Amino acid sequence: MKSGKIFVFSAPSGAGKTTLMNRLKQQIPQLVYSISATTRKPRAGEINGTHYFFFSESEFKEKINSDDFAEWAEVHGNYYGTPRSFIDSTINSGAHIMMDIDVQGKMQLDKAYPEAVGILILPPSIEELEKRLRKRGSEDEATLALRLKNALTEINTAKSAGKYEHVIINDDFNRAAREIETVLRSYIDR
């Protein structure tokens, strides 16, 4: 049986990555969303092993020390990471993984899985990104400014130090979705 492929999607907040990934899952049913591990408490309705793998902080740190994560980070006081065992069992079954990981996480993951295909999704411009974030209406001015600053940093890091084989500009959702689907199928059909 052929091993599955690993597709890593990175994008600044507001670029449309989640919506594009949801469309891809509909178009290519053999794609599996990666399940991350976390130390944060489960929210209402979240199921261990379906939405996240939930660990205590001591369990998570033990797994870090055992090199059980392909990538991990501490974010807002909680730990998040991608278990190697989940990646390995998924690709060994022939299924393909879609991962939503930031640029720093992708750089870590590339050390463990250099064959992972990086897809960077970008807005057509920073001005358009700002419009999209404002349209959400979920951030105050300070948060919006921080998101835009972080977006520029993430884009520059991805372009200079990241390993992204494909850069997709999400200026037209349907065109971007078709382009990404074509890219994924070109790897899956090999």
Q: How far apart are CA 74 and CA 142, in angstroms?
A: 22
pLDDT at 119: 96
Nearest Cα residue to 82 out of 93, 92, 67: 67
Give phi and psi for 10, each to the nearest 5: -130, 150
pLDDT at 111: 93
Helix (H) or strand (E) holding 7: strand 6-10
Q: Return the number of other C-beta atoms located less than 10 Å from residue 179's C-beta.
A: 17
Give the CA count within 13 Å in the CB-facing half-sphere of 76.
Answer: 3
Kindly list the domain boundaries of the chain, sorted by start residue. 6-188
Could you tell me the fold of the domain covering 6-188? Rossmann fold (3.40.50)
Q: Tell me, yes or no, if the pTM score tops 0.85.
A: yes
Number of helices and strands (H, E) in the chain? Answer: 7, 9
pLDDT at 96: 96
Q: Return the biggest CA–CA distance within the chain.
A: 52
Copy the structure tokens of residue 37: 């591990």
Residue burial 73-102, b: 16+ Cβ < 10 Å; e: rest? eeeeeebbbbbbebbeebbeeeebbbbebb
pLDDT at 77: 85
pLDDT at 148: 85
Q: How far apart are CA 10 and CA 114, in angstroms?
A: 16
Q: How far apart are CA 8 and CA 164, in angstroms?
A: 9
pLDDT at 92: 96
Series of mean pLDDT values for 10-residue runs along the chain (190 residues): 92 88 93 94 92 96 97 89 96 95 90 95 87 79 83 84 90 95 94
pLDDT at 147: 80
